[in-house]
Amino acid sequence: MVGIPVPKDVVTLSPDGLSEAPRDRHIILDFTFEAADAIAPGVLQSACGKMAHTWICAAVRDIQAGHADALVTAPINKEALHLAGVHFPGHTELIAHLTGVSNPCMAFYSPKLIVSLATIHEALSEVPRLLSAPSLLHIIRLTQAACRKFGIASPRMGVLAFNPHAGEHGLFGDEESRIIVPAIDQANAEGINAVGPLVPDTAFTWLNTNPAHPPFDAYVAMYHDQGLIPFKMVAFDTGVNVTLGLPIIRTSPDHGTAFDLAWQGKASPNSLFSAITLAARMARPTAL
């Protein structure tokens, strides 16, 4: 119906039959649910949010049991999730909860640009309260480790400022001197090559002026849109959302559900393909 070719050797199993599944076959787990026949494409429904939560929980459980090496998630509608009574802002926070992690990092990978976020799905007014030198240092460490998994031996990281003009020496806020500089200094003391605070509105101009020679291998942004605007400008159809700091590998497309394109054959699958490729690369780095 959706035009996706299915391998001839695919095996369809119930969710509780995975432990006996053959290791050399493609497997589809069939979760039956009463509302399936009433699902309308592109329409917000609590049943979809409920099943999305069920499938995510099952996938994490199966990976923890050793049935798979990595998790690749498709986009979920956060409003549908909330309608179903699942009060997590998104995949990142839910999977962190399921794996017992309190401080995950949302990062975005593409061959052109790597960005990680010091805060995730938070109101902009809450960001100053949530930023701290220890939490930022944690993100810098996770970003360096991720860069090495991506094949970058000696990562160079640019850490963005929070305020315009990097605070202009305290005229526009003190987050730079109070939080960001101490975190960078500690990172440098640990041997991590981190530079900043970088003025956010000029940190990515190299993408236009000298795209073949980026000054840094990865960037740490202080909040969601600060990092995602430049990233999606250069890698919207190919970028990958990677959750750092989890005990499992998890990747996802870098975009949302696009309900306005549902079942029209117009949505691009490229970001999902990239997410699958990167997950395989992270799970089997010597095989690719």
Which range is most confident: 43-47, 54-58, 184-188, 280-284? 184-188
Q: How many helices (H) and strands (E) does the chain have?
A: 10, 10
pLDDT of 197-224, one tens digit each? 999 999 999 999 999 999 999 999 999 9
* Strands of 100-244, DSSP E: 105-109, 114-117, 156-160, 193-198, 218-221, 240-244
- Check whether 22 has a pLDDT greater than 90: no
What is the reported pLDDT for 59? 93
- The CATH homologous superfamily to which domain 109-238 belongs is Isopropylmalate Dehydrogenase (3.40.718.10)
What is the reported pLDDT for 259? 84
Provide mean pLDDT across the span 22-38: 81
pTM: 0.87
Question: Looking at the DSSP assignment, which residues form a beta bridge with residue 13?
Answer: 29
Average pLDDT value over all residues in the chain:
90
Q: Which amino acid is at 26?
A: H
Provide mean pLDDT across the span 24-38: 81
pLDDT of 220-277, one tens digit each? 999 999 999 999 999 988 899 999 999 999 999 988 888 888 888 888 888 899 999 9
Domain residue spans in the chain? Answer: 31-101+246-288, 109-238
Residue 1: pLDDT band with limits 50, 70, 90: very low
